[in-house]
Amino acid sequence: MKPTRRRSKPQRRKARAKPSRARPPVKKAARDTVESLQKEIRRLRAARGKLERRLTSAVKEIGMLRQLEFRIQSLENDLDKRDQEIARLRLERADQLSQLELRLGGAMVVGST
């Protein structure tokens, strides 16, 4: 007969405790349920990843649109200033022409359209 190796006390305790803590075998239906839940979790995580990428893309696009909107506002303000300057210069020119006509004694200045 082969001599058995003697175990220390902690090893003996572990050896005894294992049979009482052993899990009962998992039934096939429960295993299928677990697998289907794991598949669903993977599917949901993938969908969440796609949605997060779409959200990131949308946020970037919103940022670009805001920058463009500010640029448009700036250009519209510049255009308004230019229009006001043109109107001021036309009034100034009309005043100068009327003053010139008065100096010339009511004669019409040619090419003043």
Judged on CB neighbours under 10 Å (0-12, 13-18, 19+), 101 is middle
Q: pTM surpassing 0.75?
A: no
What is the C-alpha separation between 44 and 17, in angstroms, rounded? 39
Are 88 and 81 in contact by the 8 Å Cβ rule? The answer is no
Q: What is the H or E stretch that residue 104 is in?
A: none
How does pLDDT run across 19-54, given as a tens digit for each residue? 555 566 667 788 889 999 999 999 999 999 999 999
How does pLDDT run across 56-83, given as a tens digit for each residue? 999 999 999 999 999 999 999 999 999 9
Four-CA torsion 73, 76, 82, 84, nearest 10 degrees: -100
Tell me the domain boundaries of the chain: 27-103
Q: What is the CA radius of gyration of the chain?
A: 45
